[in-house]
Amino acid sequence: MLKRRIIPCLDIKDGRTVKGVNFINLIDAGDPVELAKVYAKQGADELVFLDITATIENRKALGALVERIAAEINIPFTVGGGIDTVYDVSILIKAGADKVTVNSSVVRRPGLISEIARQFGNQCIVVAIDTKLVDHEWIVVVDGGRTITELKTIDWARSIEDLGAGEILLTSMNNDGTKTGFSIDITREVSRNVNIPVIASGGAGSMEHFRDVFFNTSCSAALAASIFHFGEIDIRELKKYLKHNGIAIR
């Protein structure tokens, strides 16, 4: 049986970890490198670092921060924010990132997925899908949740797999930061419709929420932010809980 992964996510703004609700009302959550060290020690399987305003501020993801992170932790980590060329990816990989995640740039130019996959391999590219329920339909949103596209989430998920993505990071904007649980329905549907790993994101507020998303969908990992940043859930205790509930976990 495939073992599920637990992934803390660190949203970065102005060099600090931040967290909000529904992508807004951001508050400071600490130094990203120090948090990363704590999560690695607690047994996190991977980390994700997202420069959340890089796209709308027309900046590149934080290469210098990536070097600091790589020097301090020994678990895989993914970096995203403002990536729109293969060259951008090369800088981050050279700095120490294991994978990159792209979102808005590939919605606007899907061919970038294939370009990155050819250069660095499918395993290197994670395509993030931010999705929002609009008129009873899950729709892709970009620019940090600010722009609603015409793309249906399931169709886009299939397309990015065909283009060479190695993994999908699926975030429900409706659930993000609410601590009401992951969006089971869209996570289940995306997982059913692709053959690449899907990371569930948005809404984790308790250990039970992780149990539920693993029981009720075939996602390969679950990602959370504030519950880890503010010490509400310890990753070691979460893994014990999940194993006790019969979930194969790394």
Q: How far apart are CA 120 and CA 123, in angstroms?
A: 8
- Give me the half-sphere count of Cα atoms (radius 13 Å) on the Cβ side of residue 52: 22
Runs of H (alpha helix) within 109-152: 111-120
Question: Six-digit token pair at 242?
Answer: 């999940």
Q: What angle do the packed helices 235-244 and 207-216 form, to 10 degrees?
A: 50
Q: How far apart are CA 61 and CA 52, in angstroms?
A: 9
CA dihedral 155→102→13→11, nearest 10 degrees, is 60
Q: Which residue, among 142, 113, 117, 116, has the nearest Cα to 129 in the 3D structure?
A: 142
Query: Which one from 45, 51, 130, 176 is the annotated catalytic residue?
Result: 130
Is residue 234 part of the annotated active site? The answer reads no
Query: Which one from 11, 45, 84, 176 is the annotated catalytic residue?
Result: 11
Active site residues: 11, 130
